[in-house]
Amino acid sequence: MGDTKQSAAATAVTSVTEGGGPLLPTYGRYPLALVKGEGSRLWDEAGNRYLDFMSGIAVTNLGHVPPKVKEALVGQLDRLWHVSNLFRIPNQEEAAALLTANSFGDAVFFCNSGAEANEAAIKLARRYQQKVAGTGRYEIVTFRNSFHGRTLATLTATGQDKVKDGFAPLPEGFRYVAFNDLAALEEAVTDKTAAIMLEMVQAEGGIHAAERSYVQAIRKLCDEQGILLIVDEVQTGMGRTGKLFAYEHYGIEPDIISLAKGLGSGFPVGAIVAREKLREAFGPGSHGSTFGGTPIATAVVKATVETIVGDKLPERAAEMGEYLLSRLREALAGNETVVDVRGLGLIVGIECKEPVADRITAAQKKGLLVISAGPNVIRLLPNLLVTKEEIDEAVSILAEVTAE
């Protein structure tokens, strides 16, 4: 027994020296510590410079340490940090007003992450069906290969088995169908269906966009059958796809969207935006969050949304996304290891025949940071202010590492 314990400790020490120290090893970490950032650039401890084409997984949409957001944050740090949601928080009301003025929505709830936003969306949909519409509906239909988060409800909503492995028993009331398959969805929907929840572009699932006619048919199905439509915009929102929100590409309006990643430019914050008819489903005491929408977080949200909308960054993302796609297609034409290059705005995937982990490390060694989306797809998520010169630099490194 004693021996077993000791060898377990020895193994633990080995992984400590490999990075992460006393942290639980929930992430496979690169042996790289980034200590400074500005715009599209990052620097490591040794002073090496990197071109960042992952933006902390679609978080730093305005680049690192964006000046206007920094100013708002520092200003708020001097005034007030926290008072609880038992008081009015003017920053929170103003941030919410910016989100509703620039979307389909009328009512906002602030939380702290994407999983929490989806958790709130699921709870709001069920509570609306049960307390306002009086249908008793509870089931949430989601899609294979989707990703909605790591809490028990949101990992259950996620259509990938690896995310659920070892966490049984899972909450009830979720059902999964193939993405972009209307017949499968029509078959899955019943008089128990409270909501359909989907990503307009499956991001973690490999950069797969929903088809326009499919999304319009889903909206119609929801309207006909009293089902709510939840769009998970945690990764696709905040200008990423070339619109402020990805649903805008589809000519429909959802009932609820969830936001997080790009919403705070790197400050942790999440939100849901919902239609007016859902407002009364979340009365006092029904849902809450101690930290949701603090004066600091919502000062950051305000500055982030003002910058994205005011500087027309979604349009810029659309233009730069087209440039990135066309440059990649040109540079990778004839490369037999590349299966497909696809994307919407500045969320772009390069699907390869083989796993891409080695190519990602090779790019890192050449000073370019990218991420995968599933085993075979290299995912590119530059910030919305990326320049053509930076895109050219990234494309030439990507051409080198995919040729090897």
Ligand X SMILES: *Cc1c(COP(=O)(O)O)cnc(C)c1O
CA distance 25 to 121: 29
Provide the β-strand partners of residue 257: 231, 273
Nearer to ligand X, 236 or 402 (CB): 236
Give the DSSP H/E element, type plus range, for residue 111: strand 107-111
Candidates 52, 139, 199, 255: give the one binding ligand X (CB under 6 A): 199
| Residue 114 labelled as part of a binding site | yes
- Write down the H helix ranges in 1-66: 2-17, 55-58
How many chain residues are in contact with ligand X, going by CB under 6 A?
A: 15
- Give the shortest CB-310-to-ligand X separation in angstroms: 25
Q: How many CA atoms lie within 13 A of 263 on its CB side?
A: 29
Nearer of residues 200 and 228 to ligand X, judged by Cβ? 200
- The response to whether 190 counts as a known ligand-binding position is no
- 232 belongs to the binding site for ligand X (CB under 6 A): yes
Largest Cα separation within the chain, whole Å, is 65
Alpha-carbon 67 to chain mean position:
23
Nearer to ligand X (CB atom), residue 59 or residue 360:
59
* Residue 235 sits in the site that holds ligand X (CB under 6 A): yes
Query: Could you tell me which stretch among 109-117, 125-133, 215-223, 292-300 binds ligand X (CB under 6 A)?
Result: 109-117
Cβ closest to ligand X, residue 103 vs residue 154:
154
Q: Contact region for ligand X (CB under 6 A) — 41-49, 170-178, 227-235, 353-361?
A: 227-235
Residue placing its CB nearer to ligand X in the complex, 148 or 316: 148
- Please say whether the beta carbons of 301 and 95 come within 8 A: yes
Place of tokens 């649903």: 247
* 260 lies in the binding site for ligand X (CB under 6 A): yes
Orientation angle between helical segments 357-365 and 388-403, nearest 10 degrees: 130
> Min. distance of Cβ 63 from ligand X in angstroms?
19
Q: Report the C-alpha gap between 73 and 266 in whole angstroms.
A: 11
Measured at the CA of 272, the angle between CA 271 and CA 276, to 5 degrees, comes to 140
Binding residue positions for N(2)-acetyl-L-ornithine:
150, 289
Judged by the rule CB under 6 A, the positions of this chain that interact with ligand X are 113-115, 118, 147-149, 199, 203-204, 232, 234-235, 260-261
Binding residue positions for pyridoxal 5'-phosphate:
114-115, 147, 232-235, 290
